[in-house]
């Protein structure tokens, strides 16, 4: 098989790390295309190095910009590559602008689209990601979904065939790299942190990161907790947070974005995680760390149902209240698979060739 795989943003580097290996180990030809949406060393290069992601065959260098400019730049670049490479499948991951660009380019060239992490929905179209998901799913030929809930979401939109429940490739990467991180990561020592005596926070959604009032309220709530709050800061939030941080107590420690190995240790040993990230919510569950989601809803509904994830919504005071005293979570279930998703996906691609 010849596959073109599209990546561009941090969460896609994590997912590609396991899929690229599985494809190549099975003897398939993979052409890796990086749109270049994320480009800082600690948003991109560190993941390639730590996780052994192959060097991309093409780098489109779209960089930062509006949604239209990022998507259009990716679309034009991917179309040219697909015409030249003529793959059997294109693989797109998740819900970023690279995902939708890859799907649109391939659909019009009649190249089969495999969407990994299909079927997720927040039912909130204010999120650019929700638009990217809906469009990508409707165009996809193979929909690799993590959970039965994702199947239901697709069925509600009239998509009823070519759906495969394979679990989540992020379980594969988390299981592999948490083991490695336990040996190699020095982040807890470097930051002088004791296990379960700190909080991890990540905030980068436009609905939080692009509004002074909202962001300051989140920071103030986090600063009421009597523990260090480690905040690896996404470049989107950096300038605004640096402007506001002096108005809070001193327990919030802003650090540069960290690599995946350090992130695994911070997530695993944090008492509570405060986040608006999709991936981090799921990883919190996988590490059995309670999570406060600073959004009005989640795609990862299983984590909420099981009592491990609390949706803060506009009740920001819950951040300080629940960080001090999170209700005993319920039963933990392997909703997202057994860490074998990438191999399952490669087998299904082989079966659906031709």
Q: Which of 87, 119, 228, 278 binds ligand UDP (CB under 6 A)?
A: 278
Output the smallest distance, CB 208 to ligand UD1, in A.
Answer: 11
Residue 220 touches which of ligand UDP, ligand UD1, none (CB < 5 to 8 A by kind)?
none
Residue 260 touches which of ligand UD1, ligand UDP, none (CB < 5 to 8 A by kind)?
ligand UDP
Residue 257 touches which of ligand UDP, ligand UD1, none (CB < 5 to 8 A by kind)?
ligand UDP
Our CB check for ligand UD1 shows the closer of 225 and 266 to be 266
Q: Which residues contact 196 (CB under 8 A, 6 or more apart)?
A: 269, 270, 271
3-state secondary structure the chain: CEEEEEECCHHHHHHHHHHHHHHHHCCCEEEEEECCCCCCHHHHHHHHHHHCCCCCCEECCCCCCCHHHHHHHHHHHHHHHHHHHCCCEEEEECCCHHHHHHHHHHHHCCCEEEEECCCCCCCCCCCHHHHHHHHHHHHCCEEEECCHHHHHHHHHCCCCCCEEECCCHHHHHHHHHHHHHHHHCCHHHHCCCCCCCCEEEECCCHHHHCCHHHHHHHHHHHCCCCCCEEEECCHHHHHHHHHHHHHCCCCEEEECCCCHHHHHHHHHHCCCEEECCHHHHHHHHHCCCCEEECCCCCCCHHHHHCCCEEECCCCCHHHHHHHHCCCCCCCCCCCCCCCCHHHHHHHHHHHCCC
Total interface residues for ligand UDP by CB under 6 A: 15
Determine the residue with CB nearest ligand UDP: 279
Q: Nearest to residue 93, comparing CAs of 30, 159, 147, 15?
A: 15
7 binding ligand UDP? (CB under 6 A): no
137 binding ligand UDP? (CB under 6 A): no
Catalytic residue among 204, 234, 287, 335: 204
Residue 283 touches which of ligand UD1, ligand UDP, none (CB < 5 to 8 A by kind)?
ligand UDP
Output the smallest distance, CB 256 to ligand UDP, in A.
Answer: 8
Q: Which part of the chain contacts ligand UDP (CB under 6 A), choosing from 24-32, 273-281, 289-297, 332-340?
A: 273-281
284 binding ligand UDP? (CB under 6 A): no
Chain residues binding ligand UD1 by CB under 6 A are 9-11, 37-40, 43, 64, 95-97, 128-129, 204, 234-236
204 tagged catalytic: yes
Output the smallest distance, CB 127 to ligand UD1, in A.
Answer: 8
263 binding ligand UDP? (CB under 6 A): yes
Judged by CB under 6 A, the chain residues 166 through 225 that form the site for ligand UDP are 202
Residue 344 touches which of ligand UD1, ligand UDP, none (CB < 5 to 8 A by kind)?
none
Residue 300 touches which of ligand UDP, ligand UD1, none (CB < 5 to 8 A by kind)?
none
Q: How many residues does the chain have?
A: 354
Would you tell me which residues interact with ligand UDP (CB under 6 A)? 10-11, 14, 202, 232, 257-260, 263, 277-280, 283
User: Would you name the residues annotated as active-site residues?
Assistant: 204
């Amino acid at each position: 098989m010849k596959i073109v795989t599209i990546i561009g943003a941090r969460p896609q580097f994590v997912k590609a790390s396991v899929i690229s290996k599985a494809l190549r180990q099975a003897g398939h030809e993979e052409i890796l295309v990086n749109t270049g949406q994320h480009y800082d060393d600690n948003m991109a290069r560190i993941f390639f190095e730590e996780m052994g992601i192959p060097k991309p065959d093409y780098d489109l260098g779209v960089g930062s910009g509006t949604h239209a400019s990022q998507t259009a730049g990716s679309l034009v670049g991917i179309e040219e590559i697909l015409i030249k490479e003529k793959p059997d499948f294109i693989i797109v991951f998740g819900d970023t602008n690279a995902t939708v660009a890859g799907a649109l380019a391939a659909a019009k060239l009649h190249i089969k689209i495999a969407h990994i992490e299909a079927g997720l929905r927040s039912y909130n179209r204010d999120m650019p990601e929700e638009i990217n998901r809906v469009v990508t799913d409707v165009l996809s030929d193979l929909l690799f979904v993590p959970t039965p809930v994702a199947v239901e979401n697709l069925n509600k939109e009239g998509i009823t065939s070519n759906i495969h429940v394979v679990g989540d490739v992020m379980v594969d990467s988390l299981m592999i790299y948490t083991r490695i991180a336990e040996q190699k990561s020095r982040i807890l020592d470097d930051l002088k942190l004791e296990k379960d005596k700190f909080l991890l926070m990540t905030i980068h959604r436009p609905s939080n990161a692009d509004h002074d009032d909202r962001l300051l309220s989140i920071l103030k709530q986090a600063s009421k907790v009597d523990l260090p709050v480690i905040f690896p800061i996404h470049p989107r939030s950096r300038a605004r947070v640096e402007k506001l941080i002096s108005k809070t107590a001193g327990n919030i420690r802003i650090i540069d974005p960290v690599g995946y190995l350090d992130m695994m240790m911070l997530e695993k040993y944090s008492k509570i995680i405060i986040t608006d990230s999709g991936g981090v919510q799921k990883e919190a569950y996988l590490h059995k760390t309670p999570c406060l989601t600073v959004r009005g809803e989640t795609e990862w509904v299983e984590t909420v149902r099981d009592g491990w994830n609390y949706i803060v919504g506009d009740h920001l005071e819950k951040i300080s209240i629940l960080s001090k005293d999170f209700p005993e979570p319920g039963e933990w279930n392997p909703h997202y698979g057994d860490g074998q998703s990438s191999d399952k996906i490669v087998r299904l691609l082989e079966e659906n060739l031709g």
